[in-house]
Amino acid sequence: MALGGAGDETECLVSYASKGNFVKKITLAAALLLATTSVSANAAIFNFIYLLNGNTLEGQVEGILQADNDTVVVSQLLSSSYNLNVGIPLPFLGSGASYANAVTAIDLSQLLTGTPKLSLSGNNNDFLACNNVVCDDGFAFVPSPNTFLPFPLVASGITYGQTLDLYNAQNWSMSLANPVPEPASWAMLIAGFGLTGAAMRRRRAVVAA
């Protein structure tokens, strides 16, 4: 009887130790996954707002913050809106300077060239987003100097107010969006909590016995 009880307790301890090691492995894997995500995911998501003649142009981009901790090289425009009306897809990106050059020279080959850049301060915006290769619609932030005027400009297509105006950095706001763990990270962390809970319950049972 006592021998059987000791064997059961030993079996529980071995089982708990085994689960404990597995939990440690899961926890370590989750930590490594999150660390890898934070290191390799240099690309982050940023939200921006620009007040354009009393109207609100908003968007969300994916990009990489540069060493100056201000400039963001944009890889894609994830979403946009004008006065809270959802904008159209704008997958074609370029620089605002290339837009000015193309329009001035009437040369579409220059349109989607250059590096699309935005900035947290609003002082280094050089960005063009278009709905197609001939840019029927979209918007642009044109730096100074440019082929139009010796001032920074903002231009937009029909969906975004159809305007050409002087750019004012004081009307600009850009910030890092709240990071959201990827589904795989969530699943691993949830599994880790479940295994940890099971191990703790088993441990309490062993101690009680």
Confidence of residue 109 (pLDDT cuts 50, 70, 90): confident
- Other C-beta atoms lying within 10 Å of the C-beta of residue 185: 14
Segment 111-133, tens digit of pLDDT: 899 999 999 999 999 999 999 99
How far is 139 from 92, CA to CA, in rounded Å? 11
pLDDT at site 201: 66
- Are 95 and 128 in contact by the 8 Å Cβ rule? The answer is yes
pLDDT at site 194: 60
How far is 65 from 81, CA to CA, in rounded Å? 23
Q: What is the mean pLDDT of residues 185-199?
A: 58
- Are 120 and 107 in contact by the 8 Å Cβ rule? The answer is no
Segment 87-98, tens digit of pLDDT: 999 999 999 998
Confidence of residue 173 (pLDDT cuts 50, 70, 90): very high
Q: Which residues of 87-102 are buried (b: 16+ CB within 10 A; e: fewer)?
A: beebebbbbbbbbbbb
- 178/10: higher pLDDT: 178
Segment 138-156, tens digit of pLDDT: 999 999 877 777 889 999 9
What does the chain look like in DSSP terms, one character per residue?
-HHHHHHHHHHHHHHHHHHHHHHHHHHHHHHHHHHHHHHH--EEEEEEEEEETTEEEEEEEEEEE-TTSSEEEEEEEEEEEETTEE-----EEE-HHHHHHHHHHT-GGGTT-S--EEESSSSS-BEEEESSTT-SSEEEEE-SS-SS-SS-EEEE-GGGT-EEEE--GGGEEEEEPPP---HHHHHHHHHHHHHHHHHHHHHHHHHH-
Domain positions in the chain are 43-176
The pTM (predicted TM-score) of the whole model is 0.66
- Are 62 and 78 in contact by the 8 Å Cβ rule? The answer is yes
Pairing of strands 117-119, 85-86: unpaired
- 51/21: higher pLDDT: 51
pLDDT at site 145: 76
In angstroms and rounded to an integer, the radius of gyration of the C-alpha atoms of the chain is: 27
